[in-house]
Amino acid sequence: MNRRVGYEMLGIVTLALSAAATVLAVAGAAFQQTLGVGAASLCAVLLVVPGLYFLGYSRRLGARDLALAHTAAFVKARGDIRIQDLAEELHASPATTRHVLRIAVQEGHVRGHFEGDARFVAERPHPPEEVE
C-alpha cells in the first residue's frame, strides 16, 4: 500500500470515529446524560481535526506524485531540456523545478544527469540487442 492510500484510509477511519462520537453525543442528549454528551462531543471535535489533516495530506501526496509523473513524462519526451522550459511547464520557479527534478531522479521516475544549473539530459533507453 502506498503512503497516499494509507493516509487516506487513516483520515476516513478517523472521521468515521468522529461521526460515531457525534451520534453518541446526540443519543446522550436525548437521554439527558450531560457527562456523556460532553465526553462524546469532545471526542468528536478532537477526532475531526486529525481526520481532516490526514485527508489533506493524502491529497498533497497525490499532487506530488502527479507532479513527479508529469515531470518525468516531459523530460522523457524531450530528452535534453532546459530547466527554464520545465519551470514554465510546471508553473514554478527554476529552483523549485530543479528540486522536483532531483526528487524525480532519486525516486526513479526518470534517469539522467544535470549539466550545470540550466540543463538536464535524460538517459535514453538502450535498444534491445539483436541475436543472430
pLDDT tens digits, residue range 11-33?
999 999 999 999 999 999 999 99
Please say whether the beta carbons of 70 and 78 come within 8 A: no
pLDDT at residue number 8: 97
**Out of 12-16, 69-73, 107-111, 122-126, least confident range:** 122-126
Give the chain's domain count.
1
In a domain? residue 12: yes
User: How confident is the model over 34-59, as a mean pLDDT?
Assistant: 96
In a domain? residue 53: yes
Flag whether pLDDT at 69 surpasses 80: yes
User: How confident is the model over 121-130, as a mean pLDDT?
Assistant: 74
The share of the chain scoring above pLDDT 90, in percent, equals: 86
Range of the domain at 31: 3-122
For the beta carbon of residue 110, count every other beta carbon within 10 angstroms.
19
